[in-house]
Amino acid sequence: MGDLGRVIKVAGPLIIAENMTGSKMYDVVYVSDSRLMGEIIEISGDMASIQVYEETGGIGVGEPVYLTNEPLTVELGPGLIQSIYDGIQRPLDLIYETAGDFITRGIQVPALSREKKWKFTPIVSAGDKVSAGDHLGFVDETTLVKHYILVPEGISGEIISIESGDFTVEEPVAEIKTQNGSKAITMMQKWPVRKQRPYCQKVNPEIPLFTGQRVVDMFFPIAKGGTACVPGPFGSGKTVIQHQLAKWIDANVIVYIGCGERGNEMTDVLLEFPELKDPKSGEPLMKRTVLIANTSNMPVAAREASVYTGITIAEYFRDMGYSVALMADSTSRWAEAMREISGRLEEMPGDEGYPAYLGARLASFYERAGIVKCLSKKQDITGALTVIGAVSPPGGDLSDPVVQATLRVVKVFWSLEAKLAYSRHFPAISWLNSYSLYNDTIKEYVEKNVHEDFFNLQADAMRLLEKESELEEIVRLVGIDSLSGEDRIVLMVAKMIREDFLHQNAFHDVDTYTSIEKQYIMIKTIIYFYRQANDFLNSGVDINQIEKMKVREMIARMKYIEDSDIEKINSIFHDIDSELGQLKKDDET
Amino acid sequence: MLKEYRSITNIAGPLLVVEGVENVKYEELVEIRLGDKDLRNGRVLEVEGDKALVQVFEGTRGIDTEKTTVRFLGRGIHMYLSPDILGKVFTGLGKPRTPSDEILPEKSLDINGAPINPYSRNYPDEFIQTGISAIDGLNTLVRGQKLPVFTGAGLPHNKIAAQIARQSAVLGKKEEFAVVFVAIGITFEESEYFINDFRQTGALERAVLILNLADDPAIERIATPRVGLTCAEYLAFEKDMHVLVILTDMTNYCEALKEISAARKEVPGRRGYPGYMYTDLATIYERAGRIKGKKGSITQIPILTMPEDDKTHPIPDLTGYITEGQIILSRSLHKKKISPPIDVLPSLSRLKDKGIGKDKTREDHADLFNQLYAAYARGKEVQELAVILGEAALTDIDKLYYKFAEKFEMQYVSQGDYENRSIEFTLDLGWKLLSVFPREELKRIRDSFLDKYLPKFVNKEELQDAG
């Protein structure tokens, strides 16, 4: 039999086997009789290097290697939502049931339950002509996600039969007559993770994806189908931001990849998401979430695979016409996994020991994001996949190769600063260093749907913050008393923007999420205050009086006003006028 | 019978190459018998064809290629366990240190353990009162957390760790607790300090001591924390105890890791440390936590010395990315005689949010610490400003912040080594310090809490000064 190799070297997660003729790059193999899953990453003659997804302790020379001649695939179908998988799509909840509290080796559990029956409702009927990507029908997987069953890639023809009723993922729901004979269609498909799922055409991202986070939506917005990265040193709140986005982002499906991070963080998501309610539907957020967890102590090779597993699942939901958001926390751990494997392969290292192909891998990962016209020829379906990656550079140093390679491809950069985190200014996104390249592309949509004044206010606010940083230098040198009245107002209002608008408490019931409408009114109030204060200053009101105005406390409390009481913020405009008017009157008398 | 090999062909640093071997497994335990019957232990690092690369824990001095024999034991390193390990002392490889430390084992476990399934974890949310304000009030420790102390040479990290062990262990709801103390390459004196402290408080009989001192074999340190954590897992998840693990000093562990990596001529990552150090450290630190349906828990306090007090050095840096926060000690506070010299601003407990609040500590805790942090950060900024401009140039409000920062360090952070403050006391102290500010400066605190708590403390400021 040609499908049995033999181990000749074991070094950490890397195994070299001989007698591997006939195997292909990235084929899955099983090592030893405990059947540890691995993937071929290098071939030389009849020898192959295998990265093993499980601990290799106890493996010795001479043990068998079983070939499958198939690449690493994921199972796609009903049952994905609300699941928690490891890096190679093994369901952790089922592993818990079969193996107990600890993950032991060689466990094999199918990703999608083979027993569970799903109620399938067809939307096409016998005699219809269908092609790849068309919706055959749907399963109400959760109250938030209607799971469409698609015609698989490479199949087109006339439907011979299609049935409604309860099926498992392996039972055929339809039969299609193709050129190569009739094909039975099940609700489950398999797809190789390293291959992008096909689509008809990519389009430009022009619609903003609101997140309920003020600093993001107002200053550094992300578009549907866009890419963003969040680099920062430890303790600067990367994970809290990723969690906040996963909770409140305006997407249909969330795929959250915990890549080489803490076990307790995944537990937090698992416990919290079923409790939290989606602001629109009032349903638990877990009902739109898929979790991939490869914690830092789980095998390193599976970490390398986990981002691919996650993004393939995300693409699958995109193909149904959904807006999908993928969070990867953290891509640095993924890059480190690549570095570790590369080191074991004794490849020539590039920057900081990372492999030379680091940039190419990162770029092709982020490029799997986008808004696409789906394959379907009959229906006009558009799906979006937004990718947000956290980066954990050593010491927060942005010259790190992973950060630099990421910045070359992503369009939004949320730079986290330790200094802001120390003063408990969260989210610690620096307003001076961050940027978003989507401001122009989403302009039309925002001006039409939020307010035409939106970008003017954004520019005004940003100018004040820039000016503040210049003035702070001066204050540091010569003291605040030397500043003019105008400049002191700039400092006052910039502080207002920082503390009363940008600062947002993720653990406060109301403050954790702010609708875009409320964000707009909040910033408008602050800018209005700025303009009025300036006017009155010019007409002779004392700056010291303005600095002591009571209305400032009301502005500070705006963020705690619930969305339903948004009128209360409107009344602040009136309060600003009346208090300033009073000051002027006092001044004149 | 196990085969004995006399075929060592290469010895370099802590590593041996044995040729002509059969059936050797990766990570297998190895026994090396020298000509003079000295017995050493090793571990298989790599197997290739009939060659095995072996790492010798006790060093290779005296090993030769002719007389020395090698046996492969067919299993990994195991720790022998029973409830009697409490009160006993073990070497860095988990062997009894003296004959009186022998136990009758109930079972043995591989020291590498297995990763806890994230699905079976229980989120740590039980407040631990350490009696130290800077920790309880601002960087709250919870059961099942891993919270390292980042320190520098000459700072009193041992005192703090001992104080935490002493005060948090005796408090609580009369549950079974245990301390696992793991010494990794520290001096005899440092280790005696802990042992004496445990003895005085009666904690010694509830403690397992794993000692690899500075003069013990350096390579053994690779196994030492794992031995300790295997004991901890046994006590916590099989014997239902709340276990506090103190690992000191993790810097020595990383040095050992570096030594092996260099001997293997691996491509180094940052500053000569191996590229896989993150993963390796994670397999240690992640062995903390709580498990669904189990009563016990493992709380880890690793101590590590930052080389040159540099937080961005790979050891503290990678640690910070794995652990759930960090307590950072400051040399400048230590010089100001503030004890414990906890540098509050860069310190952090990531799990505090779930461990504080109503029914756990007090409803106002979260808002209060946010405000204290913000005020102290501003105070520090103002202090820097005052250095340049002089105090007189500060605005009235900035002067308040200036004074606040000083008082905060003197009264809130600073406390006695044996002072055990209740959480109520710590929270009230925070309010007392904040009460000097006008109410509109306290933006981080909700109105309802300001209404409820602030009036109790306003105007008592002078009293406090007098007292």
For residue A420, list chain B residues with Cβ-Cβ distance below 8 A.
none
Kindly list the residues from chain A whose CB atom is less than 8 angstroms away from the CB atom of residue B260: none
Cα A449 → chain centroid: 24
| Cβ-defined contact of B49 to A61 (cutoff 8 Å) | yes
3-state secondary structure of A44: strand
Query: Which of A93, A103, A234, A557 should we substitute to test contact with B (largest number of B Cβ atoms within 10 Å)?
Result: A234
Residue A387 pLDDT greater than 90, yes or no: yes
**Given B116, B351, B377, which is nearest A101 (Cβ)?**
B116
The 3-state DSSP class for residue B128 equals strand
User: What are φ and ψ of residue B457, in 5° steps?
Assistant: -110, -20
Query: Best interface-test mutation with B: which of A14, A101, A240 has the largest number of B CBs within 10 A?
Result: A101
| Pairwise CB contact (< 8 Å): A267 & B123 | yes
Q: Is the peptide bond before B249 cis (omega within 30 degrees of 0)?
A: yes
Is pLDDT at B234 greater than 50 in this prediction?
yes
Residues of A in contact with B399 (CB under 8 A): none
| CA–CA distance, B355 with A125 (Å, rounded to integer) | 56
> Residue A365, CB half-sphere, CA atoms under 13 Å: how many?
29
- A557/B447 Cβ within 8 A: yes
Q: Determine the residue of chain B that is closest to A102 in CA distance.
A: B116
CA B431 – CA B433 distance, rounded (Å): 5
pLDDT tens for each residue of A291-321: 999 988 888 888 989 999 999 999 999 999 9
pLDDT at residue B460 in the model: 52
Q: In the predicted model, what is the mean pLDDT of chain A?
A: 91
In this prediction, residue B467 has a pLDDT band, given cuts at 50, 70 and 90, of very low
Nearest CB to B115; choose among A102, A339, A481: A102
**pLDDT at residue B387 in the model:** 87
Determine whether the interchain pair A61/B23 forms a contact, defined as Cβ–Cβ distance below 8 Å. yes
Tokens of B155: 């700072």
Residue A84 phi/psi, 5-degree rounding, is: -125, 120
> Tokens 């099940």 appear where?
A186
Confidence label for B379 from pLDDT (cuts 50, 70 and 90): very high
- pLDDT of the residue at A518: 94
Q: Which residues of A30-61 are buried (b: 16+ CB within 10 A; e: fewer)?
A: bbbeeebbbbbbeeeeebbbbbbbbbbbbbbb
Judged by CB atoms closer than 8 Å, whether chains meet at B118 and A352 is answered as no
Q: What is the pLDDT of residue B459?
A: 63
For A4-71, CATH gives: 2.40.30.20
For domain A84-189, is the CATH number 2.40.50.100? yes
Share of chain A above pLDDT 70, in %: 99
What is d(CA A215, CA A211) in angstroms, rounded to the nearest whole number?
10
Instruction: Determine which helix (DSSP H) or strand (DSSP E) holds B302, and give its type and residue range.
Output: strand B297-305
Q: What is the pLDDT of residues B345-373, one digit of tens each?
A: 999 998 888 888 888 889 999 999 999 99
Query: Looking at the predicted structure, is the pLDDT value of residue A278 above 70?
Result: yes
Chain A residues whose beta carbon lies within 8 Å of the beta carbon of residue B360: none
pLDDT at B466 over 50: no
Say how many C-beta atoms besides its own lie within 10 A of residue B449's C-beta. Answer: 19
Q: Report d(CA A251, CA A290) in Å as an integer.
A: 13
A108-127 average pLDDT score = 93
- Checking if the pLDDT of A584 tops 90, the result is no
- Hey, are the CB atoms on A58 and B26 less than 8 Å from each other? yes
User: Which residue reads 């926060």 in tokens?
Assistant: B325
Structure tokens at B200: 């005085």
For residue B463, which amino acid is it?
L
**Cβ <8 Å between A499 and B120:** no
Contacts of B326 in chain A (CB under 8 A): 235
Q: Which of A264, A336, A396 sits opposite B324 (nearest CB)?
A: A264
Mean pLDDT of B404-425: 93
Q: How many other C-beta atoms are found inside a 10 Å radius of the C-beta of residue B363?
A: 17
What DSSP letter does each residue of A401-464 carry, written as one string? HHHHHHHTT-SEE--B-HHHHHTT-SS-B-TTT-EETTTTTTHHHHHHHT-TTHHHHHHHHHHH
Q: Do A476 and B385 touch (CB under 8 A)?
A: yes
Q: List the one residue out of A548, A523, A541 whose CA is nearest residue A463.
A: A523
Contact B312 A481 (CB under 8 A): no
Is A107's pLDDT higher than 70? yes
What sections of A178-318 are H helices per DSSP?
214, 238-248, 263-272, 300-318
pLDDT at B462 over 60: no
Tokens encoding A284: 């638990």
Chain B CB contacts of A33 under 8 Å are none
User: For residue A65, which of A107, A27, A105, A20 has the smallest C-alpha distance?
Assistant: A20
Query: Which of B76, B351, B444 minimises the CB distance to A57?
Result: B76
Question: Average pLDDT, stretch A396-421?
Answer: 92
pLDDT, tens digit, 9 for 90 and up, residues B34-70: 877 789 999 999 999 999 999 999 888 889 988 899 9
Residue A31 C-alpha, separation from nearest chain B C-alpha, in angstroms: 13
Chosen from B75, B112, B265, B321 to mutate, greatest number of chain A CBs within 10 A: B321
pLDDT at A299: 85
Q: Which residues of B fall within a CB distance of 8 Å from A295? A: 115, 118, 282, 286
A424 to B294: CB separation less than 8 angstroms, yes or no: no
8 Å CB contact of B115 and A100:
no
For residue A233, pLDDT beyond 90: no
Q: Are B378 and A265 in contact (CB under 8 A)?
A: no
* H or E segment to which residue A122 belongs: strand A118-122
Paired strand residues for A402? none
Tell me which chain B residues have a C-beta less than 8 angstroms from the C-beta of A243. Answer: none
Point out the least confidently predicted range of A33-42, A264-273, B22-31.
Answer: A264-273
DSSP code of residue B275: T
The verdict on a CB contact (< 8 Å) between A296 and B279 is: yes
Going by the DSSP 8-state scheme, the letter that residue A347 receives in this structure is P
Q: Which residues, including other chains, have CB under 8 Å from residue A241's CB and lie 6 or more apart?
A: A213, A230, A390, A414, A416, A427, A429
Specify the amino acid at residue B369.
Answer: F
Mean pLDDT of A197-223: 95
Q: Which of chain A's residues have a Cβ under 8 Å away from the Cβ of B270?
A: 352-353, 394
* Cβ atoms of A386 and A367 closer than 8 Å: no
Predicted TM-score (pTM) of the model is: 0.90
Q: Nearest to residue B209, comparing CAs of B178, B187, B254, B240?
A: B178
pLDDT at residue B173, as a whole number? 61
Task: Check A422 against B345: CB less than 8 A apart.
Answer: yes
Taking one residue from A and the other from B, the number of pairs with CB-CB distance under 8 angstroms is 215
- How many Å lie between the alpha carbon of A33 and the closest alpha carbon of chain B? 14
* Closest chain B residue by Cα to residue A417: B346
Segment A231-236 shows an average pLDDT of 85
A12 vs B contacts (CB less than 8 Å): 276
| Closest CB to A423 among B294, B350, B377 | B377
Say whether pLDDT at A455 is over 90. yes
Amino acid at B366: A
Q: Are the beta carbons of A57 and B117 separated by less than 8 Å?
A: no
Residue A171 DSSP class: S
Which of A364, A355, A366, A425 minimizes the C-alpha distance to A390? A366
Specify the CATH architecture of the domain A201-436: 3-Layer(aba) Sandwich (3.40)
Contact B111, B230 (CB under 8 A): yes
User: For chain B, what percent of residues have pLDDT higher than 70?
Assistant: 97
The predicted pLDDT at position A346 comes to 83
* Contact assignment for B123 to A268 by CB distance below 8 Å: yes
Q: Could you tell me the residue ranges of all domains in chain A?
A: 4-71, 84-189, 201-436, 454-588
Candidate from A1-10, A141-150, B274-283 with smallest mean pLDDT: A1-10
Residue B282 identity (one-letter amino acid): A
CB A255 within 8 A of CB A323: no
Which tokens go with B65?
């290629």
pLDDT recorded at residue A475:
83
**Residues A162/A122, Cβ–Cβ less than 8 Å:** yes
What radius of gyration, in Å, describes the C-alpha atoms of chain A?
Answer: 28
Q: Report CA A195 to chain centroid distance, whole Å.
A: 20
For residue A1, what pLDDT band results from cuts at 50, 70 and 90? Answer: very low
Kindly give, in sequence order, each residue whose CB lies less than 8 Å from that of residue A285, ignoring residues fewer than 6 positions away: A246, A247, A254, A273, A274, A276, A277, A278
**Whole-number Å distance between alpha carbons of A158 and A277:** 42
For B114, the closest of A102, A337, A340 (CB atoms) is A102
Q: Is the per-residue pLDDT at B410 higher than 50?
A: yes
State the pLDDT confidence band at B151, using cuts at 50, 70 and 90.
very high
The pLDDT confidence band at residue B465, using thresholds 50, 70 and 90, is very low
- Chain B hits for A395, Cβ within 8 Å: 311-312, 317
How far apart, in whole angstroms, are the C-alpha atoms of residue B394 and residue B396?
A: 6
Lookup: tokens for A403? 């950060």
The reply to whether residue B49 touches residue A9, judged by beta carbons under 8 angstroms, is yes
For A454-588, which CATH class? mainly alpha
| pLDDT over 90 at A237, yes or no | no
Average pLDDT on A244-264 reads 91
Please give the residue of chain A at the shortest CA–CA distance from B112.
A57
Half-sphere exposure of B79 (CA within 13 A, CB side): 29
pLDDT tens-place string over residues A528-542: 999 999 999 998 888
Q: Are A166 and A117 in contact (CB under 8 A)?
A: yes
